[in-house]
């Protein structure tokens, strides 16, 4: 599968897809932001969930989406003691992938299974390259198609109730 030449998802696309996958309503999304100590109102969230061609559409910034993920991690994994992480000024697919992996407590085998459900086969070595620090020589930028395949796998598990395999 060609991982390049794929149209990247916007932050709004990512938020809409996660809302659909996890069957969240706007108040639940607001709670995720509040868990990260990032106040937003329901009207703002509704504007982020609109399509680009709809009236009152509002682009979701990298800082906004990063705080959404911080709240998702807090709700799913528990809030850490001390000051909460702040917003990320520049959000990459690698950071999004890592935050989803942390929030959902996914080990490499489960991530690979989710990707395979989305019709993408990767090795553990290929997968680990997406989670390395950018200065590491084995680091690789995560193409949007990888996230898209992950979302397809997540949809099957969380929305369509297709169980992950157990070892």
Which domain-ending residue is among 91, 126, 148? Answer: 91
Residues 6+ apart with CB under 8 A from 106: 100, 114
What is residue 22's predicted lDDT score, i.e. its pLDDT? 96
What is residue 41's predicted lDDT score, i.e. its pLDDT? 95
Range of the domain at 11: 7-91
What is residue 6's predicted lDDT score, i.e. its pLDDT? 61
Task: Name the DSSP class of 80.
Answer: P
The answer to whether residues 68 and 13 belong to one domain is yes
96 part of a folded domain: no
- The sign of the dihedral angle between the CA atoms of 110, 116, 120, 124 is positive
1 part of a folded domain: no
The answer to whether residues 14 and 76 belong to one domain is yes
Global confidence as pTM: 0.90
Mean pLDDT by 10 residues, the chain (167 residues): 67 97 96 95 97 96 97 92 88 96 96 96 96 95 95 93 68
What is residue 125's predicted lDDT score, i.e. its pLDDT? 95
The answer to whether residues 134 and 75 belong to one domain is no
Number of domains in the chain: 2
CA 48 to mean position of chain CA atoms: 15
50 part of a folded domain: yes
Task: Report the distance separating Cα 150 and Cα 114, nearest Å.
Answer: 6
The answer to whether residues 72 and 145 belong to one domain is no
Contacts 24+ apart (CB under 8 A), 120-125: 120/1, 120/145, 120/146, 120/149, 121/1, 122/146
């Amino acid at each position: 599968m060609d991982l390049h030449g794929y149209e990247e998802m916007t932050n709004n696309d990512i938020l809409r897809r996660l809302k659909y996958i996890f069957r969240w309503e706007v108040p639940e999304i607001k709670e995720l932001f509040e868990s990260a100590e990032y106040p937003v109102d329901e009207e703002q969230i509704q504007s982020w969930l609109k399509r680009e061609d709809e009236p009152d559409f509002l682009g979701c910034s990298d800082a906004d989406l990063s705080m959404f993920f911080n709240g998702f991690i807090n709700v799913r994994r528990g809030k850490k003691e001390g000051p909460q992480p702040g917003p990320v000024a520049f959000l990459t697919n690698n950071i999004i992938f890592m935050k989803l992996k942390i929030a959902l407590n996914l080990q490499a085998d489960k991530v690979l299974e989710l990707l395979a459900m989305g019709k993408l086969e990767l090795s553990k070595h290929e997968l680990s390259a997406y989670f390395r620090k950018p200065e590491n020589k084995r680091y690789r930028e995560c193409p949007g198609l990888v996230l898209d395949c992950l979302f397809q796998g997540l949809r099957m598990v969380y929305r369509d109730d297709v169980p992950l395999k157990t070892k």
